[in-house]
Amino acid sequence: MFMQSIIVIAVIVIVVIILLIWVINTRNRFVVLRNRVKDQAAQLDVQLKRRFDLIPNLVSVVKGQAGFEKSTLEAVIQARGAAGQAKNLPDTIKANNELTGALSKLIAVAESYPDLKSNAGFNQLSSELADTENKIAYARQFYNDTVLKFNNAIQMFPSNIIAGMCGFAEQEFLAAADNERENVKISAGDF
């Protein structure tokens, strides 16, 4: 009888140790995934900052063009100001979506100014801006992929129990802005 009690106690201790190891590993996995989400958000922020820094130079070059639409420049400047004042990731993304729209309009309007189109500084800045926009798109994609892994880990049983006990919450995906979902309208005069 004594031997059976020792075996039962040993089995219980082993089960508790295995369960404790699983809880620790699961919690540590959540920490790693949460930190990856933060890292990807920071990578996105780096690209947004790069674009943010390019804009004053682009606006300066465009301002030098006589007769350029003042309202277009003002829209870019205001959108840049709003992006600079954003305090969290959702607000930053919203403000940067508006900035993207204003920059797109600026570049589109600039196409009708031959002197500006032939300006080497404008062309270089436009190229850098296009490259940065591509990097922003990739950073958004990587961020969403990382959020997907994190959210899946939080939602799946039985790890969702540990996630709830340790206070891990789902992260939001970065969705396309409404204006990015609209169909592009091209007329015969655009060619």
Per-residue pLDDT of the chain (191 residues; tens, 9 = 90+): 888 999 999 999 999 999 999 999 999 999 999 999 999 999 999 999 999 999 998 888 888 776 677 888 888 999 999 988 988 888 888 888 889 888 988 888 888 888 887 888 888 988 999 999 999 999 999 999 999 999 999 999 999 999 999 999 999 998 876 655 555 443 444 33
Gyration radius (Cα) of the chain, Å: 26
pTM: 0.80
Domains and CATH numbers, the chain: 30-175 (1.20.1440.20)
The encoded tokens of residue 181 equal 């979902």
Q: How far apart are CA 107 and CA 48, in angstroms?
A: 18
Q: How far apart are CA 59 and CA 106, in angstroms?
A: 9
Check if the beta carbon of residue 190 is closer than 8 Å to that of residue 76. Answer: no
